[in-house]
Amino acid sequence: MSTESGEVQLELLRFQHHSDWYKALNPDGIVPCLTVPDRALVESNLINEFLDEWVPQPPLMPDDPADHHEVRRLCKYVDDVCLPAVQKPNWSRSMQPVAEKWSDEELELRLAAIPSEGRRALWRRMARDPFTREEIDAGLDVLEDLTRRIKTYLQASGGQWLFGERLTLADITVAPYVVRFEEERPGRMPPVTHEWWSRFTSRPAWRAAEIGRYEDDTARSAREAMADQT
Protein backbone atom coordinates (compact mmCIF):
# COMPACT_ATOMS: atom_id res chain seq x y z
CA MET A 1 0.00 0.00 0.00
CA SER A 2 1.29 3.48 -0.86
CA THR A 3 0.38 6.57 1.12
CA GLU A 4 1.26 10.25 0.95
CA SER A 5 3.91 9.65 3.60
CA GLY A 6 5.42 6.57 1.97
CA GLU A 7 4.90 2.90 1.30
CA VAL A 8 3.41 0.40 3.74
CA GLN A 9 4.19 -3.21 2.90
CA LEU A 10 1.49 -5.62 4.01
CA GLU A 11 2.27 -9.24 4.84
CA LEU A 12 -0.54 -11.12 3.11
CA LEU A 13 0.15 -14.38 4.92
CA ARG A 14 -0.23 -12.50 8.18
CA PHE A 15 -3.58 -11.28 6.87
CA GLN A 16 -2.84 -7.61 7.45
CA HIS A 17 -5.02 -6.79 4.43
CA HIS A 18 -7.99 -8.28 6.31
CA SER A 19 -7.50 -5.99 9.30
CA ASP A 20 -10.19 -3.44 10.12
CA TRP A 21 -7.93 -0.44 9.48
CA TYR A 22 -7.09 -1.65 5.98
CA LYS A 23 -10.67 -2.61 5.12
CA ALA A 24 -11.65 0.94 6.06
CA LEU A 25 -9.50 2.01 3.09
CA ASN A 26 -10.37 -0.86 0.78
CA PRO A 27 -13.60 -2.63 1.78
CA ASP A 28 -12.72 -5.59 -0.46
CA GLY A 29 -9.63 -6.31 1.64
CA ILE A 30 -7.32 -6.80 -1.34
CA VAL A 31 -4.12 -5.12 -2.46
CA PRO A 32 -2.90 -2.75 -3.76
CA CYS A 33 -4.24 0.53 -2.39
CA LEU A 34 -2.98 4.01 -3.14
CA THR A 35 -4.01 6.86 -0.86
CA VAL A 36 -4.24 10.39 -2.18
CA PRO A 37 -5.79 13.40 -0.40
CA ASP A 38 -9.16 12.30 1.01
CA ARG A 39 -9.31 9.15 -1.13
CA ALA A 40 -8.12 5.57 -1.31
CA LEU A 41 -7.65 4.22 -4.84
CA VAL A 42 -7.80 0.49 -5.56
CA GLU A 43 -7.41 -1.97 -8.46
CA SER A 44 -3.94 -2.19 -10.01
CA ASN A 45 -4.81 -1.26 -13.58
CA LEU A 46 -6.99 1.67 -12.53
CA ILE A 47 -4.23 2.93 -10.24
CA ASN A 48 -1.82 2.73 -13.17
CA GLU A 49 -4.13 4.86 -15.32
CA PHE A 50 -4.51 7.37 -12.49
CA LEU A 51 -0.73 7.65 -12.10
CA ASP A 52 -0.32 8.14 -15.84
CA GLU A 53 -2.78 11.05 -15.75
CA TRP A 54 -1.42 12.46 -12.49
CA VAL A 55 2.20 12.44 -13.75
CA PRO A 56 1.65 12.75 -17.51
CA GLN A 57 5.31 12.74 -18.57
CA PRO A 58 6.42 10.45 -19.96
CA PRO A 59 3.00 9.31 -21.23
CA LEU A 60 2.16 5.65 -20.74
CA MET A 61 -0.66 5.51 -23.27
CA PRO A 62 -0.31 5.46 -27.06
CA ASP A 63 -1.13 8.64 -29.00
CA ASP A 64 -4.01 7.10 -30.96
CA PRO A 65 -7.31 7.06 -28.96
CA ALA A 66 -8.23 3.77 -30.66
CA ASP A 67 -5.03 2.31 -29.24
CA HIS A 68 -6.10 3.57 -25.79
CA HIS A 69 -9.12 1.31 -26.18
CA GLU A 70 -6.92 -1.63 -27.17
CA VAL A 71 -4.62 -1.12 -24.18
CA ARG A 72 -7.65 -1.12 -21.88
CA ARG A 73 -9.02 -4.21 -23.61
CA LEU A 74 -5.75 -6.06 -23.02
CA CYS A 75 -5.72 -4.93 -19.38
CA LYS A 76 -9.27 -6.22 -18.96
CA TYR A 77 -8.23 -9.57 -20.45
CA VAL A 78 -5.40 -9.74 -17.93
CA ASP A 79 -7.76 -9.00 -15.03
CA ASP A 80 -10.55 -11.31 -16.21
CA VAL A 81 -8.53 -14.26 -17.53
CA CYS A 82 -4.87 -14.14 -16.50
CA LEU A 83 -5.38 -13.19 -12.86
CA PRO A 84 -7.58 -16.21 -12.04
CA ALA A 85 -5.11 -18.37 -13.99
CA VAL A 86 -2.01 -17.21 -12.12
CA GLN A 87 -3.76 -17.60 -8.78
CA LYS A 88 -3.68 -21.36 -9.22
CA PRO A 89 0.12 -21.81 -9.11
CA ASN A 90 0.61 -18.80 -6.87
CA TRP A 91 -1.88 -19.72 -4.18
CA SER A 92 -0.78 -23.35 -4.27
CA ARG A 93 2.77 -22.27 -3.48
CA SER A 94 2.05 -19.52 -0.98
CA MET A 95 -1.36 -19.84 0.66
CA GLN A 96 -1.94 -23.61 0.72
CA PRO A 97 1.00 -24.49 3.05
CA VAL A 98 -0.42 -22.11 5.65
CA ALA A 99 -4.16 -22.69 5.21
CA GLU A 100 -4.05 -26.50 5.16
CA LYS A 101 -2.76 -26.48 8.75
CA TRP A 102 -5.76 -24.57 10.12
CA SER A 103 -8.30 -26.31 12.28
CA ASP A 104 -11.94 -26.01 11.20
CA GLU A 105 -12.46 -23.40 13.92
CA GLU A 106 -9.49 -21.32 12.79
CA LEU A 107 -10.57 -21.58 9.15
CA GLU A 108 -14.00 -20.16 9.96
CA LEU A 109 -12.39 -17.38 11.99
CA ARG A 110 -10.14 -16.44 9.09
CA LEU A 111 -12.98 -16.58 6.57
CA ALA A 112 -15.14 -14.31 8.70
CA ALA A 113 -12.61 -11.48 8.24
CA ILE A 114 -12.60 -11.74 4.42
CA PRO A 115 -15.17 -9.43 2.76
CA SER A 116 -15.25 -11.07 -0.68
CA GLU A 117 -17.05 -14.37 -1.23
CA GLY A 118 -14.71 -15.09 -4.15
CA ARG A 119 -11.67 -14.79 -1.90
CA ARG A 120 -13.36 -16.81 0.84
CA ALA A 121 -13.91 -19.57 -1.71
CA LEU A 122 -10.22 -19.51 -2.65
CA TRP A 123 -9.17 -19.78 0.98
CA ARG A 124 -11.58 -22.67 1.54
CA ARG A 125 -9.96 -24.47 -1.38
CA MET A 126 -6.46 -23.86 -0.07
CA ALA A 127 -7.44 -25.18 3.34
CA ARG A 128 -9.47 -28.23 2.34
CA ASP A 129 -9.59 -28.80 -1.44
CA PRO A 130 -6.39 -27.51 -3.08
CA PHE A 131 -5.97 -27.06 -6.81
CA THR A 132 -5.08 -30.22 -8.71
CA ARG A 133 -2.02 -30.51 -10.93
CA GLU A 134 -4.36 -30.39 -13.92
CA GLU A 135 -5.88 -27.09 -12.74
CA ILE A 136 -2.47 -25.56 -12.14
CA ASP A 137 -1.27 -26.66 -15.59
CA ALA A 138 -4.41 -25.18 -17.16
CA GLY A 139 -3.62 -21.88 -15.45
CA LEU A 140 -0.09 -21.94 -16.82
CA ASP A 141 -1.48 -22.70 -20.28
CA VAL A 142 -3.37 -19.39 -20.06
CA LEU A 143 -0.13 -17.57 -19.25
CA GLU A 144 1.60 -19.31 -22.14
CA ASP A 145 -1.17 -18.07 -24.41
CA LEU A 146 -0.52 -14.56 -23.06
CA THR A 147 3.10 -14.78 -24.24
CA ARG A 148 1.78 -15.61 -27.72
CA ARG A 149 -0.61 -12.66 -27.56
CA ILE A 150 2.34 -10.43 -26.66
CA LYS A 151 4.14 -11.73 -29.75
CA THR A 152 1.11 -10.78 -31.88
CA TYR A 153 1.01 -7.26 -30.46
CA LEU A 154 4.75 -6.81 -31.06
CA GLN A 155 4.50 -7.98 -34.65
CA ALA A 156 1.56 -5.66 -35.29
CA SER A 157 3.27 -2.65 -33.69
CA GLY A 158 6.59 -3.16 -35.46
CA GLY A 159 8.31 -1.51 -32.49
CA GLN A 160 10.17 -2.42 -29.32
CA TRP A 161 7.02 -2.41 -27.22
CA LEU A 162 3.47 -3.68 -27.54
CA PHE A 163 2.23 -0.42 -29.04
CA GLY A 164 5.28 0.83 -30.90
CA GLU A 165 8.44 2.59 -29.83
CA ARG A 166 7.11 3.83 -26.49
CA LEU A 167 6.55 1.75 -23.38
CA THR A 168 2.88 1.81 -22.37
CA LEU A 169 0.62 0.50 -19.63
CA ALA A 170 0.11 -2.57 -21.80
CA ASP A 171 3.73 -3.66 -21.30
CA ILE A 172 3.58 -2.87 -17.59
CA THR A 173 0.31 -4.72 -17.03
CA VAL A 174 1.42 -8.03 -18.56
CA ALA A 175 4.86 -8.06 -16.90
CA PRO A 176 3.89 -9.70 -13.56
CA TYR A 177 2.30 -12.60 -15.43
CA VAL A 178 5.26 -13.06 -17.75
CA VAL A 179 7.72 -13.22 -14.87
CA ARG A 180 5.65 -15.95 -13.21
CA PHE A 181 5.33 -17.88 -16.46
CA GLU A 182 9.08 -17.74 -17.02
CA GLU A 183 9.67 -19.06 -13.50
CA GLU A 184 7.22 -21.94 -13.93
CA ARG A 185 7.96 -22.83 -17.56
CA PRO A 186 11.39 -21.41 -18.38
CA GLY A 187 12.49 -21.13 -21.99
CA ARG A 188 9.03 -21.50 -23.54
CA MET A 189 8.32 -17.92 -24.57
CA PRO A 190 8.24 -17.21 -28.31
CA PRO A 191 11.55 -15.65 -29.42
CA VAL A 192 9.91 -12.30 -30.19
CA THR A 193 8.35 -12.22 -26.73
CA HIS A 194 11.66 -13.24 -25.15
CA GLU A 195 13.45 -10.32 -26.82
CA TRP A 196 10.76 -7.94 -25.54
CA TRP A 197 11.11 -9.43 -22.06
CA SER A 198 14.88 -8.95 -22.12
CA ARG A 199 14.34 -5.28 -22.97
CA PHE A 200 11.77 -4.90 -20.23
CA THR A 201 13.85 -6.50 -17.49
CA SER A 202 16.89 -4.44 -18.54
CA ARG A 203 15.09 -1.19 -17.70
CA PRO A 204 16.44 0.67 -14.62
CA ALA A 205 12.96 0.71 -13.06
CA TRP A 206 12.77 -3.08 -13.15
CA ARG A 207 16.19 -3.44 -11.57
CA ALA A 208 15.27 -0.87 -8.91
CA ALA A 209 12.13 -2.83 -8.05
CA GLU A 210 14.28 -5.81 -7.01
CA ILE A 211 11.72 -8.42 -8.05
CA GLY A 212 12.70 -11.69 -6.39
CA ARG A 213 11.68 -15.19 -7.32
CA TYR A 214 8.11 -15.84 -6.27
CA GLU A 215 9.00 -19.21 -4.76
CA ASP A 216 11.71 -17.67 -2.56
CA ASP A 217 9.59 -14.75 -1.40
CA THR A 218 6.55 -16.84 -0.58
CA ALA A 219 8.57 -19.52 1.18
CA ARG A 220 9.95 -16.83 3.50
CA SER A 221 6.48 -15.39 4.11
CA ALA A 222 5.01 -18.85 4.75
CA ARG A 223 7.74 -19.67 7.29
CA GLU A 224 7.08 -16.42 9.12
CA ALA A 225 3.32 -16.90 9.05
CA MET A 226 3.54 -20.47 10.35
CA ALA A 227 5.94 -19.32 13.08
CA ASP A 228 3.25 -16.86 14.19
CA GLN A 229 0.86 -19.77 14.66
CA THR A 230 3.17 -21.80 16.91
Q: Do the domain assignments include residue 47?
A: no
Q: Do the domain assignments include residue 156?
A: yes
pLDDT at position 147: 98
Beta bridge partners of 176: none
pLDDT at position 84: 94
Q: Do the domain assignments include residue 161?
A: yes
Whether the Cβ atoms of residue 159 and residue 165 lie closer than 8 Å to each other: yes
- Split into its structural domains, the chain has a count of 2
Share of the chain above pLDDT 90, in %: 58
pLDDT at position 42: 84
pLDDT at position 36: 86
Do 94 and 37 share a domain, yes or no? no
What pTM did the predictor assign?
A: 0.85
CB contact set of 152 (below 8 Å; sequence gap of 6+): none
pLDDT at position 6: 56
Do 7 and 74 share a domain, yes or no? no
Q: Residues of the chain whose pLDDT is less than 70?
A: 1-8, 10, 214-230
Q: Is 118 exposed, middle or buried (0-12, 13-18, 19+ CB in 10 A)?
A: exposed
